[in-house]
Structure 1
Amino acid sequence: MRHPLALFLLIAVTLTYCVAIALRAQHPAWAYVAAFAEAGMVGALADWFAVVAMFRHPMGIPIPHTAVLAKNQTRLGQGLADFIDRNFLSAHYIRNKLAQWDAAQWLAQWLQVPHNAQRLLQPVLATTRFGLEAMDDRKVRAFFTRNVRTALQQIDVSSSSAAILDSLTAQGRHQQLLSDLTTQLAKAVENESTQQHITQAIAKELRALRYLALDQAAARLTTRKIVNAVARNLKDMGESPEHPMRQRLEGAIQDWISRLKADPELQAKTNHFRDELLEHPGLNEYLEQVWSDLLRWLVQDLSQSDSPLAQRLEAGVSHLGRELAHNPELQHWVNAQVQDLAPRIVEYYRPAIGRHIQQRVGEWDTRELIEEVETKLGKDLQYIRINGTLVGGLVGLVIYSLTQWVIGG
């Protein structure tokens, strides 16, 4: 018995009742004491029955509507699941709570604490190191290489290339890039160092003029003419999208895109090139060696207590926190994403959470459940019985007193 006080009180009012009954003839006050003790016994026994009936059959007798908790464990689980679902998982409740929480500011402060950055990255780095060590195994590497090659062989290179080029050239978005590129090329051609290289190349080819000492002079004259012509054309191309050479280049690009989409012969050639490249033994051996070296370097780095990569990642996390703390627009975006995404995630998993709660409560061992509840609520249940004894006794005393007053009146 964990809480014997209620039992001691019941024994006390029982003994009081016996003494009062025995001494009732000696003084009228003992009758009032007996009335109090009698009603106290009734109240104590009634509350004892009610408390016990919640958990088990009183004295082992299968009285109807007793052992309530054991008989309604499934309903308890359903009720608990419904209560949590209704009061904690509703989208309206989640949105209201999130509206009161500045998630971005909390995240910014959390990320700036060095210990938090380490806590965030340690499991990620440990998992990464384990995965890298596993990937360095020959069988795993062969499996990975084989499946990557198979996946790459499923890619339609011609269609993918056409889609990429379509995206790059849509609405003339590549024209500015061409303008910048041709302008930079014109500047490069006009550069003195570039001209010197061209001069030397031309002079080397004009060997017949060397005996007349005309090779350098002819080279310089030729270079100047070539440079001026090339630079002028490049500059004109950069300044005018309507330049004939720009138009021819644009036509060639569009023709290439169309052929990639519709020319079976070109499609077959590009896919054949893809297969030859993937099956090339030298390329595969080279890629495997690069892959092994990369894995070995990463594993070695991550195995160090003062890993440079880990330190850079931790510094990056802290920097991200500082940037977020001083960027109101980014904070607004983060809060908006949290307020939009969190309710949808909870709403999606809401039925599963309810089913999990109901299932877990249903799987609880009934005896352990009852013992756990009694342990947690034992003190309060004891005071229910104590209150039943005292309140019952006082009510009995009042009723007896009123009865005597009415009879005596």
Structure 2
Amino acid sequence: MLKQKNKSQHLATISLAVMAIGFLITMPIRDSLWGIILQGGFEAGLVGGLADWFAVTALFRHPLGIPIPHTALLPKNRKRIIAGIISMLENDWLTKESIRKKIDTLNFSEKLFSIIDKEIHSKAIQKNFINLIQHLIHTIDTKKIAPVIEKELKSQLYKLDTKNYLPLIIDQVMERKYDEKTLDIILKEVYEWAEKDSTKYKLGGLAVDAVENIKADGFMQFALKSFSNLVNEEKLGNIIQSLILKGVDSFRDPYNPNRKTLMIHIHNKLESVKNDEKVYEELNHLKTQLIGKWEPQEQIISLLNNLKQKAHDFVEEANFFNHYILPIIIDGLENLKATPEKVNSLETWIKQQITSFVDKNHTKIGKLVEENLERLDDKTLITMVETNVGKDLQWIRVNGAVCGFLIGLVLVGIKALL
């Protein structure tokens, strides 16, 4: 652009020089008819070229540096010119109405679908999508989320009604025969405790003390005295131990009537618990106390951190995007395209957002142009204008010289004829 400007400027200077040289050359032959005509043409061309040079130069600077009035028009009227450009942009070329009409003619959803269909399979999109997911995973603050999860978890636990779960637990206990298994465990522990020698002597000592501490009169006192003289701790311990062991064995036998009777009693008690409001009140009270004292925040943070790491590693897998994300996006787009109502709704929403953005920022177009122009000093601004329109301006000078020459020939010719 600068080369074209210099070329046209040189051409304008050359045309002016030609007119001046022609005028000087024709001076010796001005006594002849053709000399008069040619000199008049060159004279008019020189005057026209100089006049146009003055006019073009006066647009940008003072001709020959002389501060002639009404010259250097661009620097003097800079603010008015900028204001005119801004007004022209905002009120004539880029009005809100013209932008809205242009927006209405465009099909944004179709272009959006086309771009997605074209770019969704590219490696760059996949890489950026994975990086975005990993970034979102990394930005999750587990310490801030943990209290929220703890609160919600406790809230849900408080809402649990024991009446909905205790009957189920009791049914499972009887169905899986946990009551019998529990009884067998208790009987086994009792049997192991009762067969110990230390237990035998301890029971015998307790029995002797009990007999000696019985208060009776007359014959009963004599009988108890005689009995205590016949037995000792070991004998009484053997008797009691034997009774306990035999009793335990009988209850451990699945076919023993006593065991069956006990199990029926246990089952009846368990069934009655289902309708015992006091049991439910106690369980609810216990539940409230346990939940209130429970502090799972550290465990939740640890769990969330483990899930974050696993999610991060899972996203890094080579086929994660193609196997999980891409099918979801494609299916979602196909379903959206197949529903005209949704497409129209999307199109309307996009246009509303763009129109709203234009309405809010329309004045910034002029401000942006003004800011960019204000950054330029007069010299730079003049250089830009001359670079872009200087070619046409220099041709004005050329045309002025040529037209002046031709008009001069005609006028002098007419004058000579007359």
Q: TM-score range by the shorter chain?
A: 0.5 to 0.7
1:70 aligns with: 75
Q: How many Å separate the matches in 2 of 1:11 and 1:103?
A: 59
* Matched-pair contact (CA < 8 Å) for 1:325–1:331: yes
2:277 alignment counterpart: none
Q: Which has the larger radius of gyration?
A: 2
CA distance in 2 between counterparts of 1:81 and 1:116 reads 44
CA offsets per residue over residues 359-401 of structure 1, 9 Å max, x none? Answer: 2211223222222222233322222211111122222333333
Q: Are the aligned partners of 1:10 and 1:41 in contact in 2 as well (CA < 8 Å)?
A: yes
Q: Distance in 2 between the 1:62 and 1:149 partners?
A: 78
Distance 1:307 1:344 in 2: 41
* Matching of residue 342 in structure 1 with residue 317 in structure 2: no
Q: Distance in 1 between matches of 2:348 and 2:311?
A: 37
Report the Cα offset of residue 403 of structure 1.
Answer: 3.5
Cα distance in 1 between the residues matched to 2:130 and 2:256: 70
- Structure 1 counterpart of 2:368: 356
Equivalent pair of 1:43/1:388 in contact (CA under 8 Å)? yes
Paired residue for 2:248? none
- 1:98 aligned onto 2:73: no
1:21 aligns with 2:27: yes
Aligned twin of 1:2: 6
Q: Report the TM-score when normalising by structure 1.
A: 0.60
Distance 1:76 1:36 in 2: 38
1:74-115 deviations in whole A, cap 9, x for unaligned? Answer: 333322222222245433212211221111111111110136
* C-alpha deviation, 1:9, in angstroms: 1.1
The one-letter code of the counterpart of 1:99 is D
Contact 1:104 1:331 in 2 (8 A): yes
CA-to-partner distance for each residue in 1:194-251, whole Å, 9 max, x for gaps? 9x95861578479799756979xx9xx99xx9xxxxxxxxxxxxxxxxxxxxxxxxxx
Shift in Å, 1:51 = 1.7
CA RMSD of aligned residues (A): 4.5
Aligned residues: 306
Code of the aligned partner of 1:35: G
Q: What do the CA deviations read for 1:117-153 (whole angstroms, capped 9, x no partner)?
A: 66667666656656766x59xxxx6xx947x799x7x
Aligned positions of 1:49-64 closer than 5 A: 49-64=54-69
Q: CA 1:108–1:66 in structure 2 vs 1: closer, same or farther (change >3 Å)? A: same
**CA–CA distance in structure 1, aligned partners of residues 328 and 122 of structure 2:** 9
Contact 2:119 2:125 in 1 (8 A): no
Task: Report Cα offsets for 1:320-377 as digits up to 9, x if no partner.
Answer: 5444444322221122122322222111112233222212211223222222222233
Give the 3-state SS of the residue equivalent to 2:6 in structure 1.
coil
Q: Secondary structure at the match of 1:347?
A: helix
What SS does the corresponding residue of 1:21 show, helix, strand or coil?
coil
Code of the aligned partner of 1:2? N
Deviations 1:169-191 (A, max 9, x none): xxxxxxxxxxxxxxxx9xxx9xx
Describe the shift of the 1:362–1:204 C-alpha distance in structure 2 as closer, same or farther (beyond 3 A): same
Q: 1:98 to 1:377 in 2, by over 3 A?
A: same
Letter in 1 for 2:377: D
More moved, 324-333 vs 6-15? 324-333
Contact 1:17 1:38 in 2 (8 A): yes
Secondary structure, counterpart of 1:25 in structure 2 = coil
Unaligned segments of structure 2, at least 5 residues: 156-163, 184-250, 272-287
Deviation at 1:65, TM superposition (A): 2.4
Aligned partner of 1:369 in structure 2 is 381
1:200 and 2:200 are equivalent in the alignment: no
Residue identity opposite 2:14 in structure 1? F
3-state DSSP of counterpart to 2:27: helix
Between 1:92-101 and 1:295-304, the stretch displaced more is 295-304
2:410 corresponds in structure 1 to 398
Closer/same/farther in 2, CA of residues 42 and 309 from structure 1, 3 Å limit = same
CA distance in 2, matches of 1:210, 1:361: 107
Q: Which residue of 1 aligns with 2:400?
A: 388
- How far off is 1:302 after superposition? 6.6
CA distance in structure 1 between the aligned counterparts of 2:321 and 2:103, rounded to whole angstroms: 35
Q: 1:5: Cα distance to partner? A: 1.0
TM score, norm. by length of structure 2: 0.59
Q: 1:117 to 1:400 in 2, by over 3 A?
A: same
